[in-house]
Amino acid sequence: MQNESISILGCGWLGLPLAAELSSRGFPVKGSTTSEDHIPLLQEAGIEPYILSLDPELEGDEAADFLQSDTLIINFPPERRDDIEEYHVLQFSSLIDAIRLSPLRHVLMVSSTSVYPALNREVVEEDALEPDSPSGRALLTVEEMLMQERGFQTTVLRFAGLVGYDRTPSNYLGRMKEITAPAQPMNLIHRDDCIAIMMEIIRLGQWGEVFNACSPVHPKRIDYYTKAAEKAGVPLPPAAGGDAPFKIVSSRKLENAIGYTFLYPDPMADL
């Protein structure tokens, strides 16, 4: 396993520390960025850097070389644009065409729990049928595109809202005019858990699966932001609105499959 080579498409807030962790454990790692300014950061972490983009075609002078690995981790979210459903499909069509020409055997796709509609109950992996948002529909479509391929195996990880380090609620409180849907349960996951989960999937070879990844405790929005405001010493925006549709994302399938125990099970404690 230590000799397995890994390429990470998207070395940003999540991808870069993941790449650094893999590199520190002896994995040969290639990482992509869209900016030359980020190349030194990748090099310092022991990552072989590549400048690649999907606009929507896969572009980069050494794109084929980047895909000369055993495993590809796809880590870029849908862009904010009106035609995202069509555009994201074009991006993945180009990427899949390139993967077919490569020796890649495994793909790990970072997806999102936005593929689930607000069903006012707990949701599991089979509940991703009719996403509420265009980005959720885009993600579900490209998940299916990857899972249907037979030349390589794909595992999809649907992460909840990413928190940790510089992504804290105190950073947003100053820009919030009000706390909407105050009683709505939150679905969050710490970056350290994201990285640990991906490491375990690779180590155990859990391919051909779809997993939710969300902390098992789901605080109410008002409780979460109240504690965050107290901790940061900033005013709490007023609560607005009553009951709102919700979902509670379950990670039981993941926990059972890889024997995982969350490092940060309660987002309130993380504050």
Ranges of each domain in the chain: 6-165+188-216+247-258
Lowest mean pLDDT among 5-14, 110-119, 172-181: 172-181
Q: Which residue has the tokens 């459903």?
A: 85
Write out the CATH class of domain 6-165+188-216+247-258.
alpha beta
* pLDDT at residue 1 is higher than 60: no
Where do runs of H (alpha helix) occur along the chain? 15-24, 39-44, 63-66, 84-100, 134-147, 170-173, 191-204, 221-232, 252-258, 267-270
Residue type, 115: V
- The tokens describing 77, both together, are 């979210």
Q: What is the DSSP letter of 185?
A: B
Q: How many helices (H) and strands (E) does the chain have?
A: 10, 15
Distance in angstroms (rounded) separating the CA atoms of residues 54 and 74: 12
Interatomic CA distance for residues 30 and 8, integer angstroms: 6
- Cis before residue 56, ω within 30 degrees of 0? yes
pLDDT value of residue 74: 98
Residue 3 has pLDDT above 80, yes or no: no
Here the tokens at position 80 are: 């904010």
Q: According to the model, what pLDDT value does residue 2 have?
A: 55
Whether the predicted pLDDT of 270 surpasses 60: yes
- Give the separation between CA 125 and CA 191, rounded to whole angstroms: 21
What pLDDT does 172 receive? 84
The predicted structure's pLDDT at residue 171: 84
How far is Cα 213 from Cα 235, in angstroms, rounded to an integer? 31
